[in-house]
């Protein structure tokens, strides 16, 4: 029963103003200055006089710590920061490319072209070398192939995870030099170029 109650929804919203039901609090001023331990009535009066909110910032402290602040402004700024951080976050996609240790040159060039395209788009690429039968006793074939590929695409990406054996496979991860958001910009500029050309010709 106790566990069930613990698993219930917990409010992450701090208590403010008259929702703070304790006899006294440790009060912090609007600029971070320590006011000291005061009765809740006095803290609420100081908040009202300053046209601010009394916000409980450390409810588990004894007594709880409360700060004088503009709670509406604080929530707005926090929401803006979160939105900005979400916008700056890049969603990295890991593509996978599988190769055989004794790959022929035409197949290698095709696969290398795909890897280059993925890296240009700002995606990471997991390169998997698949060993079969007796090939498993020749890991140097896989290492040589991975080193060759890393050298061939070094202008676009770098080895983020060095080659390691994973059962019958050998795996290496390549990461792009540019972030996904940076890789998208030239495409956006390219898309707007025809419009600019049309405007120039008008």
Q: What pLDDT score does 152 carry? A: 94
Write out the two tokens for 102: 């004794």
| Domain spans in the chain, listed from the N-terminal domain onward | 2-70, 94-181
The CATH fold of domain 94-181: Translation Initiation Factor IF3 (3.30.110)
Q: What pLDDT score does 94 carry? A: 87
The CATH fold of domain 2-70: Ubiquitin-like (UB roll) (3.10.20)
Q: What pLDDT score does 2 carry? A: 40
Q: What pLDDT score does 113 carry? A: 95
Q: pLDDT tens, 90-146?
A: 566 789 999 999 899 999 999 999 999 999 988 999 999 999 888 888 899 999 999
Residue carrying the six token digits 């055989």: 100
CB atoms within 10 A of CB 43: 23
Q: pLDDT tens, 37-88?
A: 999 999 999 999 999 999 999 999 999 999 999 999 989 988 998 888 877 6
Q: What pLDDT score does 190 carry? A: 53
């Amino acid at each position: 029963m106790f566990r069930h109650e613990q698993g219930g929804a917990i409010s992450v919203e701090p208590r403010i103003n008259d929702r703070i039901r304790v006899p006294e609090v440790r009060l912090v001023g609007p600029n971070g200055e320590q006011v000291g331990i005061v009765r809740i009535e006095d803290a609420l009066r100081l908040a009202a006089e300053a046209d601010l909110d009394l916000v409980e910032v450390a409810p588990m402290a004894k007594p709880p710590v409360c700060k004088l602040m503009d709670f509406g402004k604080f929530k707005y700024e926090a929401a803006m920061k979160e939105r900005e951080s979400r916008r700056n976050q890049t969603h990295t996609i890991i593509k996978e490319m599988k190769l055989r240790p004794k790959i022929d040159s035409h197949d290698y060039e095709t696969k290398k072209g795909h890897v280059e395209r993925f890296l240009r788009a700002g995606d990471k690429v997991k390169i998997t070398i698949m060993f079969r039968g007796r090939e498993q006793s020749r890991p140097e074939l896989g290492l040589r192939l991975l080193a060759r590929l890393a050298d061939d695409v070094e202008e676009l990406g770098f080895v983020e995870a060095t080659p390691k054996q994973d059962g019958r496979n050998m795996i290496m991860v390549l990461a792009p030099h540019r972030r996904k958001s940076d890789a998208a910009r030239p495409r956006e500029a390219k898309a707007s170029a025809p419009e600019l050309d049309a405007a120039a010709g008008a």
